[in-house]
Copies of this chain bind each other. A is one copy, B any other.
Amino acid sequence: MAKPLAVVLASGGMDSCVSVAMAREEFDLALLHLNYGQRTESRELRSFNDLAGFYRVERSMVISLEHLVRIGGSSLTDASIAVTPADLRNAGIPSSYVPFRNANMLSIAVSWAEVLGAEAIVIGAVEEDSSGYPDCRREFYEAFNAVIKAGTKPTTSITIRTPVIGMSKEEIVRRGMALGAPFHLTWSCYKRGDVACGECDSCALRLRGFQRAGFDDPIPYLVRPAYADR
């Protein structure tokens, strides 16, 4: 029997890569990549395409949300706002927060899922490591599920799955390694597209995860600080 279909949001980073690896155990996949004008978009898109190729996914779509650049308000999309250096103990909202980004992404995913007849939307949000982003928390996804129920056809049933939301980066690395996830194809750096900087929030969280899990991160870094003891 055919598996049910899921739309998986895939950025090209390690969390969505492992989410894809987990989702394919249960679902046929349709991969969705959203370009929202982030500095490293072209590198992330390459990772997305590599991931789709690695898993031989037949349905994939790349959609541009360039209006989020025009709206502004984030260091990820606005070159005039500095990328905050990594401070993994800081509980505030990072400068890389893109206002309401995940709702924009989920809305598109739901539109596509409703047309495809998909049952699930999978997103690799991580609550612990991204606690500064309000739209990475469980309560946000629970609230969004209620919006999907209220805002789609009565015959439509789509729920959001967040397979890695409760995991630490260390656990995500371990799970991905166990599933043979292609970490070597992924990209996480917020700052550079050629060689990962090793020092932005995203690099620091990733490197710390690999270090704590006891694996070498297979991608190259400009500098590779030790974060595991922080």
Contacts and interface: CB of A to CB of B under 8 A. Distances in A.
A199 interface: no
Copies per complex of this chain: 2
A139 B150 contact: yes
Interface stretch (A13-21, A49-57, A59-67, A161-169): A59-67
A143 B143 CA distance: 7
Interface string A56-96: 00000101100110111100000000000000000001000
A22 to B, nearest CB: 24
Contact of A107 (B64, B104, B137, B140): B104
Interface stretch (A109-117, A171-179, A211-219): A109-117
A134 interface: yes
Q: Chain A interface residue count: which class?
A: 35 or more
Given A70-B63, A99-B111, A103-B110, A150 B154 contact: no
B147 A140 contact: yes
**Most B-side CB within 10 Å, residue of A61, A73, A100:** A100
Contacts of A115: 71-73, 99
Nearest 7 Cβ contacts at the A-B interface:
A99-B114, A73-B115, A135-B151, A63-B67, A140-B150, A103-B107, A104-B107
24 contacts: A61-B67, A63-B70, A68-B111, A72-B115, A73-B114, A73-B115, A93-B153, A98-B111, A99-B110, A99-B111, A99-B115, A100-B107, A100-B111, A103-B110, A103-B151, A104-B107, A134-B151, A134-B152, A137-B150, A140-B147, A142-B150, A143-B147, A143-B151, A144-B147
Interface of A: 61, 63-64, 67-68, 70-73, 93, 97-104, 106-108, 110-112, 114-115, 134-135, 137, 139-140, 142-144, 146-154
